[in-house]
Amino acid sequence: MTPSFYDEGALVAVLTTQPLDRALDYKAPEGGCHLGAFVEVPLGPRKVIGVVWGPGKGDYDYAKIRSVIRVLDAAPMRDEMRAFLEKAAAYTLTPMPAMLRLATRAPGLGDPPSMRKVYRRGPSEPDRVTDARKRVLEFLSEYGDLSFTLKELAELSGVTSSVIKGLVKQGAVAEEDSPRDLPFPPLDPERPGKALTDDQALAAGQIANAVASNTYGTTLLRGVTGSGKTEVYLEAVAACLRSGRQALVLLPEIALTAEFLTRVEARFGARPAEWHSGATMTERRRIWRMVGMGQAQLVIGARSALFLPYQNLGLIVVDEEHDTSYKQEDGVLYNARDMAVLRASLLGAQVVLASATPSLESWANAESGKYARVDLEARFGPAVMPQMRTIDMRTEALPSGRWVSDTLKRAVEARLEAGEQAMLFLNRRGYAPITLCRACGHQVGCDQCDARMVEHRFLKRLMCHQCGETKPLPTICPSCEAEDRMAPVGPGVERLGEEAVELFPDARVAVLSSDMYGSARALKAEIESIAEGAADVIIGTQLVAKGHNFPSLTLVGVIDADLGLQGSDLRAAERTFQLMRQVAGRAGRAEKPGTALLQTYQPEHPVIRAILAGDEEGFWRAEAAEREAAGVPPYGRMAGIILSGPDVAQVFDAANALARNTAPLQRVGAQVFGPAPAPIARIRGRHRVRLLVKAGKGVALQGAISRWVGQLRLKGDLRLAVDIDPQSFY
Ligand code: ADP
Ligand code: ZN
């Protein structure tokens, strides 16, 4: 057994976030250190932060081994967390230092707990009571023994800070040092939630019982948008808090809205910790520390919140579990949904996967009995699922440069007359996907990537969606030098917005696209104001499909329902199905019934028909049968290997070398496909070549792959990335 404490001078292995292939040996510092302790160690001329990972290896001269400099003021990493990082690293074939980086994404870890000045009512009375002074003292006595920062107190009592300083001198206000990182206010699970319907109560009871069991289990909570999944899992959170354990709710970044947090606050009487990309450094440090001390009971966060140092996590909810943003596509390639299940299984915690349109993976796990499944059948209250119909574009004569059919136009007009909102959905950012020279047919591409440049009129530039490179719109064709012949081809949301303004001159049109707002916060603010009625026609990309509530929205028009059906992605049908169902779920969430109209050139396509029929089980069964026959996930295993480098020949040579020496894979019965140029064959000037590994479901693929790619020595600037369970095939 690994000892849990090391006395001074004992050899310990310290894992750091530096890209080394092993933990390094150090001597335990004066006073010793715990297993899992966060420490500062010398590394060459530098000092770096690391974690005591176990006993030292002892394969160096003891005399030359350096000492740990100091133990940091943070709770040691728990055994469970170390095991989780090791398992996650083994699963995703990620080096441990990169894994540790995910778990230490808090600034100032090595800083002593910093203090700040706070102010409260002091023992004395001031010599002279002015109006301003009176306001401060009255405010403070109202709040009893709470204390405030200078800025808060000045703002809340409406005085300048010099008034407060004056009161401090007289002892009427006391100035004290207090730790900067304060615990989160306690949440009260006993506050009454909404009165649940029978259906909801049954679901909530089942999950709450599972939580109370203190064992591992995963439940798929399926219910149409608006059926009350959130109400139900908040009851499970309440059960978890009642048992004294922490809870985590993961959301896609964009669904983490003020509206949602307000709802949680209303349920539990205080705001939970909120972990997202927009959090300030101070907030991050506070959350990281308080989570580790058990003084943040509930975290609402985006994917990386899974790597916080929870002290006693009892429940992880993954809302919108099918959402592709749970897969991190750069750096460590992990799927937060799958890693949530892994972490919970190590902890004896419960997982709730909530979705209106679960992933086929989760659906199959529920079918096979690996996950429990709970269904909410109806929408809450009077709202019903929208009616869905197709518009057969083969019979709609559309002039060029127009994308809204007359049928759809009339439907929108009817909604506008009724004072309701309509949404036009197109999953394409920018103004036009192609900029073409009318003289020679040249299409403007990115200089660094094999991708077309997309016009963004809003930015007045062309942009590459792969690398983000932009350039001005050319007036002269870069190929044939003809003047003023460049023309936009095809629609993006910006162009659709222009069309909507023309078609509906009296309506307020708003375009919602992630790139048109400076920050996620600005975008969320815009979404909220639209939900409150600031626009009549909403034009949006897929981000509007993610859990927002637009109460007066009664019509959704899908401009190109065929868009997702193209392409070679094995999940194309599943994605289209989910997206269309989610978008349609925006319509008619309140009292007014909704309609969804899908413009399509393939009304007979099985996916389009399944969407219309609302036959989810039927769709999944058909899709599952196809994947099973093809031996692809979730009925088989897959991994993508991407080799990239500046020199195309060198990249192919390396890929061919791999493809020739597949003995380690053959031994487990895995097959290799490729090498082939990746669908996007060049990104940021690096050529990309892809190999695909396929294996049976029970195969221990990771070991075989690491032995296989381990044979290759990466020369020069060549890079190799392994993507286990790839979600996107770019
Ligand atoms: P979902 O998460 O499935 O989309 P929500 O939990 O957000 O559904 O519920 C949709 C709406 O219906 C919310 O405004 C929610 O407050 C309301 N709602 C759901 N269940 C109830 C209930 N039992 N009592 C009152 N309001 C409810
Ligand atoms: Zn590019």
Q: Does ligand 1 have an atom closer than 6 angstroms to the CB of 229?
A: yes
Structure tokens at 612: 């219309």
Are 36 and 79 in contact by the 8 Å Cβ rule? The answer is yes
The residue-averaged pLDDT of 277-303 equals 89
Q: In what order do the strands lie in the sheet with 553-558?
A: 387-392, 595-600, 553-558, 421-425, 537-540, 509-512
Please tell me the predicted confidence (pLDDT) of residue 182.
79
pLDDT band of residue 81 (cuts 50, 70, 90) is very high
Residue among 538, 476, 484, 485 at smallest CA distance from 508: 538
Tell me which of 85 and 619 has the higher pLDDT. Answer: 85
Pairing of strands 537-540, 509-512: parallel
The pTM assigned to this predicted structure is 0.81
Average pLDDT value for residue range 682-696: 88
Q: What is the pLDDT of residue 86?
A: 96
CB atoms within 10 A of CB 93: 19
Q: What is the pLDDT of residue 385?
A: 65
Domains of the chain: 5-103 (3.40.1440.60), 115-179 (1.10.10), 198-376 (3.40.50.300), 387-428+491-624 (3.40.50.300), 637-724 (3.30.70.600)
- The CA distance from 291 to 74, in Å, is 11
**Is the CB of residue 688 less than 8 Å from the CB of residue 643?**
yes
pLDDT at position 156 over 70: yes
Residue nearest to atom 6 of ligand 1 (CA): 228
**Highest mean pLDDT out of 173-182, 275-284, 381-390, 481-490:** 481-490
- Give SS3 for 443: strand
359 ligand 1 Cβ < 6 A: no
- Gap from CA of 678 to ligand 2 centroid (Å): 15
Distance 382 CA to ligand 1 centre (A): 11
Planar angle of CA 508, 512, 513, nearest 5 degrees? 150
122 CB less than 6 Å from ligand 1? no
Q: How many CB atoms lie within 10 A of CB 100?
A: 23
Ligand 1 pocket, residue 228 CB under 6 Å: yes
Q: How confident is the model at residue 32 (pLDDT cuts 50, 70, 90)?
A: very high
pLDDT at 416 over 70: yes
Report the chain's mean pLDDT, rounded to a whole number.
87
Q: How many CB atoms lie within 10 A of CB 447?
A: 12
pLDDT at 20: 85
Give the DSSP letter of residue 348: T
Instruction: Return d(Cα 162, Cα 179) in angstroms, integer.
Output: 23
**172 vs 121: CA distance, rounded Å:** 6
**If you average pLDDT over residues 402-428, what whole number do you get?**
92
Residue 357 Cβ < 6 Å to ligand 1: no
Cβ-Cβ contacts under 8 Å for 604 (sequence gap 6 or more): none
197 within ligand 1 shell (Cβ under 6 A): yes
**Does the pLDDT at position 296 exceed 60?**
yes
Can you read off the two tokens belonging to residue 527? 């979404």
The atom of ligand 1 lying closest to the CA of 194 is 24
The SS3 call for residue 167 is helix
Residue-wise pLDDT tens digits, 178-197: 777 778 889 999 998 888 99
| Residue-level pLDDT at 285 | 87
- What residues sit around ligand 2, an ion, with C-beta below 5 angstroms? 446, 448-449, 464, 466-467, 469
The β-bridge partners of 388 are 596
Mean pLDDT along residues 329-345: 92
The percent of residues in the chain predicted with pLDDT above 90, rounded, is 45
pLDDT tens per residue across span 631-684: 888 889 999 999 999 998 899 999 999 999 999 999 999 999 888 888 778 888
Confidence band, pLDDT 50/70/90 cuts, at residue 578: confident
Buried b (16+ CB within 10 A) or exposed e, 286-297: bbbbbbbeebbb
Q: What pLDDT does 546 receive?
A: 62
Q: Is the pLDDT of residue 591 over 70?
A: no
Q: For the segment 353-411, what is each residue's pLDDT rounded down to a tens digit?
A: 999 889 999 999 999 999 999 999 766 665 566 788 999 999 988 888 899 999 999 99
Does residue 568 have a pLDDT over 60?
no
Rg for the chain, CA atoms, rounded = 29
Task: For residue 693, give the 3-state DSSP assignment.
Answer: strand
**What confidence tens digit (pLDDT) does each residue in 105-122 have?**
877 777 766 677 888 888
For residue 66, the one-letter residue type is R
> Which ligand is in closest contact with the Cα of 686?
2
Distances (CA, A) of 177 to 68, 113, 151, 314, 659: 31, 12, 15, 34, 64
Residue 590 has pLDDT above 70, yes or no: no
- Looking at all shown ligands, the one closest to residue 469's CA atom is 2
Q: Which residues contact 357 (CB under 8 A, 6 or more apart)?
A: 322, 577, 578, 581, 582, 616
What the block records as the tokens of 123 is 């023992």
Q: What is the DSSP string of 527-559?
A: HHHIIIII-SEEEE-GGGGSS---TTEEEEEES
Which letter, b or e, does each residue of 160-178 get, where b requires 16 or more Cβ atoms within 10 Å of its Cβ? eeebbebbeeeebbbbeee
Q: Which residues pair with 556 in a beta bridge?
A: 423, 596
Mean pLDDT is lowest, of 390-404, 501-515, 607-621, for 607-621
Name residue 517's amino acid: Y
Q: Among the bound ligands, name the one nearest to the CA of residue 681.
A: 2
Residue 468 CB neighbour total at 10 angstroms: 12
Q: What is the pLDDT of residue 720?
A: 92
Return the number of other C-beta atoms located less than 10 Å from residue 725's C-beta: 19
pLDDT beyond 80 at 580:
no
Average the pLDDT over each of 98-112, 485-499, 502-516, 561-575 and give the range with the smallest value: 561-575
In the numeric block, the tokens 């060029």 are attached to 400
Residue 347: what pLDDT? 92
- Average pLDDT of the segment spanning 529-551: 79
